[in-house]
Amino acid sequence: MKKFYGIFAIPGFFIILALSSCGSIPGTEQTAPFDEGGIMYTILPEHLFHNYTTIQYDDKGYARVSRFYPQQLEAYRDNAMFDAMSKSSSGVVLSFITTGDSINFKCRVPNRLKTFQPIMRQISVSSVVYALKKLSKDNIKKGVVLLDGIDLVVDGELHSTKYPISSNIKFRFDNPSHKKCEVKIFFPVIFDMYIKDLEINGVVERLQTKEHILCLGDSITQGFSAGNPSRNYVALLADKLNVDVINQGIGGYVYRSESLTGLENFKKQFGEPKFITVAYGTNDWYYKIPEKEFRENAADYYKHLTGIFPSTPIYIITPIWRGDTELDLQGKMPFENIANIIEQEASAFPSIKIIDGMKLVPHDFKYFSDVYLHPNAEAFSIMTNNLIKQAGFTVSYTAAGE
């Protein structure tokens, strides 16, 4: 098996992203019982998947799970970054009850390099260097940050993370009495993962259907780069509220109402969502979108979204703090204008409530994994708790790893 590693390095801060190929995989087999009362799913049944919109199976039995509807994907195809991120599996989980303590499956992660390249083009080196200068030496995170992995969560606790640099993923956890455990396997945030041949050495029961929420937004919503797919604010929010969630965050995205085309299918598939969150604006500012155009785009987005979901509570999260708002200001509106315009345009829609993003995360570089823009796991936890407080949600579950 060949392995490739893409490396982005700046002084005192390193990101290493595994880009290995997955090797050859044998063909499909019939579903068969596994030793010790367990089971093997060569082709995974749909009821084991949660937080998805569609599933496709290829000719080798691999399941590919999407979080968007086909009509929505058309809106992202004109941009390499958006297209790659729309294919990612962020938020998707395998979830079930089992008496086992061993879980194996085969995975395939195609187009790693093709996915990686547009992400690197979005990184502002000047912003990172600027932020590093603001940090004390004690707070600069030295070492390796692995961007994408697969999390195993057992009974609400983050157990371990595997990185898909091999086609064979194996999880083991302590369950000596073979009691029933709730297991969640979180798919990668950035990459598109195909899966087959799930082996579980115990009885498997499906979970009860939960209410759904819908989270729309940019890379912060998608989950860059908490370090674990179960530790971003969307995953934490869903766990704390004991709901399923469709994560439709797209790295680098902005207010564009065409991305809502096809979202009418959500209600047909899941019924009315419990609520919707929307979190754009920081990229609109960074891309220097003119104030008049931004205002029109936001208003058009709210009009289309409320037209699809007229009776659903919608929470608009204004941009959270970022560490480069004093850098390269030529052609950019003041950062605070973004939140002001969002609030003004949203005020025309009674079902919309504003969440003040500037009160969600501490205004400190040390809480950001890239030291200026994307929250780390600790900051995502703080963000989730503050979001729940502002929105007035009722907590019913303790999130993974907390």
- Averaged over successive runs of 10 residues, the pLDDT of the chain (402 residues) comes to 34 36 32 55 92 95 96 93 93 96 93 58 53 50 57 96 88 96 95 94 92 97 92 97 97 97 97 98 96 98 98 98 86 95 98 98 92 92 98 78 52
Amino acid at 274: K
Residue 399 lies in a domain: no
Give a yes or no: residue 402 inside a domain.
no
Q: What angle, 0 to 180 degrees and rounded to 10, lies between the N-to-C axes of helices 377-391 and 233-241?
A: 50
Q: Quick check: is 102 in a domain?
A: yes
What is the model's pLDDT at position 113? 58
User: Is 400 within the bounds of a domain?
Assistant: no
> Could you tell me the residue range of the domain that residue 216 belongs to?
5-391
Asked if the structure places residue 286 within a domain, the reply is yes
Number of domains in the chain: 1
Residue type, position 187, single letter: F
Q: Is residue 68 part of a domain?
A: yes
**Could you tell me if residue 42 is inside a domain?**
yes
Q: Residue 80 has what pLDDT?
A: 87
DSSP string, 198-240: EEESS-EEPPPP--EEEEEESHHHHTTT-SSTTSSHHHHHHHH
DSSP string for residues in 115-127: HHHHHHHH--HHH
Supply the CATH number for residue 347's domain.
3.40.50.1110
Rg over alpha carbons for the chain, rounded to the nearest Å, is 21
Say what the pLDDT of residue 185 is. 98
pLDDT confidence of residue 129: 54
**Is the residue at 401 inside a domain?**
no
Please report the pLDDT score of residue 28 as a whole number: 30
